[in-house]
Amino acid sequence: SQQGEEDPQALSIQEGENATMNCSYKTSINNLQWYRQNSGRGLVHLILIRSNEREKHSGRLRVTLDTSKKSSSLLITASRAADTASYFCATSNYGQNFVFGPGTRLSVLP
């Protein structure tokens, strides 16, 4: 299985602080994506990073990918209460479908 594993399982920070979540996976991938899920709602795509990319930015989000370590990190800068959600990494490769990790639950306290 190439399931991603997010770390930590839960994270609690103050508004304005940065939040960093990590994802590790087991086999080679073609791309890695991060999704956000607000409580009990559908997943929303945040960012996609391809295996030949090392870093990608989108607004307050910064994603890195280290294929040698089979890991990725998601950094949310200047967090807001609205960032409170669960964050999932999803990996995919030829012949494989999306495989999601168990997620990191982020709580941003006002």
Partner 1 sequence: DSGVTQTPKHLITATGQRVTLRCSPRSGDLSVYWYQQSLDQGLQFLIQYYNGEERAKGNILERFSAQQFPDLHSELNLSSLELGDSALYFCASTLGDHPLNTEAFFGQGTRLTVV
For partner 1, which stretch binds (CB under 8 A), given 11-19, 59-67, 74-82, 94-102? 94-102
Residue 43 binds partner 1, judged by CB under 8 A: yes
Select from 14, 69, 82, 94 the one that contacts partner 1 (CB under 8 A).
94
The answer to whether the beta carbons of residues 61 and 74 sit under 8 Å apart is: yes
Among residues 8, 27, 28, 50, which is the contact residue for partner 1, using CB under 8 A? 50
- CA 34 to chain centroid: 4
**Max Cα separation, the chain?**
44
The two three-digit tokens of residue 72, written as one number: 């990725």
Number of H helices, E strands in the chain: 0, 11
Cα separation, 44 vs 66, in Å, equals 23
Q: From 20-28, 37-45, 53-61, 70-78, give the range in contact with partner 1 by CB under 8 A.
A: 37-45
Binding residues for partner 1 (CB under 8 A): 30-31, 33, 35, 40-45, 48, 50, 88, 90, 92-94, 97-103
